[in-house]
């Protein structure tokens, strides 16, 4: 990419897209193209066609997607597969039709089988069944990856796919019902600490920030406590009259997860767009691949993992919550372990930098100050 190249960031207001936009701006790229949802609905085929014909982006970062945590994925299964397929099909196809030089498609580590070998190499894709709770979303992402591969093979495009691990950072989604595990923990433990300190006004202020059903839960103390208990935040009174705040979390707390600071993720994406091509990984001979081409995507992760229980305790330490955290084993855990094999990325010359505890502290500072 040249500093004056026309670069489109699809999903620039999201967690990853906003980080990519910051990274490109910091590195001196000057012709960055963005559109909000109100300006361009990426599920609208005609609108996307018109946009590409008018703007002619040379490079595309496809970070737009419908995303959510385990509960949202399992509840809105039809929406997750339909909307993601629509977005991918429209953007990838129009990038080809309008001569984009390169496209980077963001997948998700949930594309790998539920019982994949650990750490998960790129080649374990489609080797066994997926985790049921996020199967529709995973299938949509797999389709996007295979679409990029197929366009490369048939049309000679340079469309690359990356598989990020669990991401966190500034501009994350902290909605109590739809967020991923780490932002959900940060917000729930923050609210638990406010309740522990008896600062109901701080709780009210937090809920009002997000509007909607949350802002309507603050009219009375009883309504407020009922709303918090819906998300596992409970103030309990013992037989001797003393009280404590307990946070109840889904599952056993034993699943292992890998987390990556989103600014590191953005840096990896820009690095790959600048330094990596589809033909380089496949190893073209005379302009054609030497055999069957599969799994040309690249994992992006930190290479380390932590149990959800230990993650909760780490967030508790950073925030300063003195109450108790309990787990509800009647609720689903999701995939037991999800650690990416990042040796392919490391071989290309990129490694993550942010320490998890420092990253959590940075996100919490931003959360409380915004």
**Which two three-digit tokens encode residue 355?**
């320490």
pTM value?
Answer: 0.89
Per-residue pLDDT of the chain (370 residues; tens, 9 = 90+): 999 999 999 999 999 999 999 999 999 999 999 999 999 999 999 999 999 999 999 999 999 998 877 777 888 899 999 999 999 999 999 999 999 999 999 998 889 998 899 999 999 999 999 988 889 999 999 999 999 999 999 999 999 999 999 999 988 889 887 788 899 999 999 999 999 999 999 999 999 888 766 767 677 888 899 999 999 999 988 767 678 899 999 899 999 999 999 999 999 999 999 999 888 777 665 566 767 888 999 999 999 999 999 999 999 999 999 999 999 999 888 778 889 999 999 999 999 999 999 999 999 999 998 7
Give per-residue burial for 193-215: e unless 16+ CB within 10 Å, then b: bbbbeeeeebbbebbeeeeeebe
E strands in 66-190: 102-106, 159-164, 166-168
Annotated catalytic residue within 137, 168, 227, 364 = 137
Active-site residue flag, 137 = yes
User: What integer pLDDT is reported at residue 285 of this predicted model?
Assistant: 59
User: What integer pLDDT is reported at residue 241 of this predicted model?
Assistant: 67
User: What integer pLDDT is reported at residue 212 of this predicted model?
Assistant: 66
Of 342, 269, 360, nearest to 17 by C-alpha is: 269
Instruction: Tell me how far apart the alpha carbons of residues 150 and 337 are, in angstroms, rounded to a whole number.
Output: 30
């Amino acid at each position: 990419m040249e500093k004056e190249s026309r670069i489109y960031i699809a999903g620039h207001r999201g967690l990853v897209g906003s980080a990519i936009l910051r990274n490109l701006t910091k590195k001196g790229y000057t012709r960055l193209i963005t559109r909000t949802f109100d300006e361009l609905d990426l599920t609208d085929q005609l609108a996307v066609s018109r946009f590409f014909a008018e703007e002619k982006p040379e490079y595309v970062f496809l970070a737009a997607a419908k995303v959510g945590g385990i509960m949202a994925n399992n509840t809105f299964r039809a929406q997750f597969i339909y909307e993601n397929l629509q977005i991918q099909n429209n953007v990838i196809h129009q990038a080809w039709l309008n001569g984009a030089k390169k496209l980077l498609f963001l997948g998700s580590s949930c594309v790998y089988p539920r019982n994949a070998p650990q750490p998960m190499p790129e080649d374990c894709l489609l080797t066994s069944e997926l985790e049921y709770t996020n199967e529709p979303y995973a299938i949509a992402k797999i389709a996007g990856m295979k679409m990029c591969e197929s366009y490369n093979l048939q049309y000679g495009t340079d469309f690359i796919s990356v598989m990020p691990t669990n991401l966190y950072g500034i501009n994350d989604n902290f909605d109590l019902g739809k967020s991923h595990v780490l932002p959900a923990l940060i917000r729930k433990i923050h609210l638990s600490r406010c309740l522990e300190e008896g600062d109901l006004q701080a709780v009210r202020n937090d809920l009002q920030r997000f509007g909607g059903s949350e802002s309507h839960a603050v009219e009375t103390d009883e309504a407020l406590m009922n709303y918090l208990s819906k998300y596992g935040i409970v103030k309990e009174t013992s037989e001797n009259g003393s009280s404590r705040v307990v946070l109840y979390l889904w599952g056993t707390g034993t699943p292992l997860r890998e987390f990556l600071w989103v600014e590191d993720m953005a840096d990896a994406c820009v690095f790959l767009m600048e330094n990596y091509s589809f033909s380089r990984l496949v190893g073209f001979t005379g302009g054609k691949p030497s055999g069957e081409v599969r799994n040309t995507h690249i994992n992006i992760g930190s290479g380390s993992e932590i149990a959800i229980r230990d993650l909760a305790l780490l967030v508790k330490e950073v925030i300063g919550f003195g109450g108790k955290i309990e787990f509800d084993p009647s609720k689903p855990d999701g995939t037991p372990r999800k650690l990416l094999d990042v040796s392919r990325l490391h071989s290309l010359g990129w490694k993550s930098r942010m320490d998890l505890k420092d990253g959590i502290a940075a996100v919490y500072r931003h959360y409380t100050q915004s």
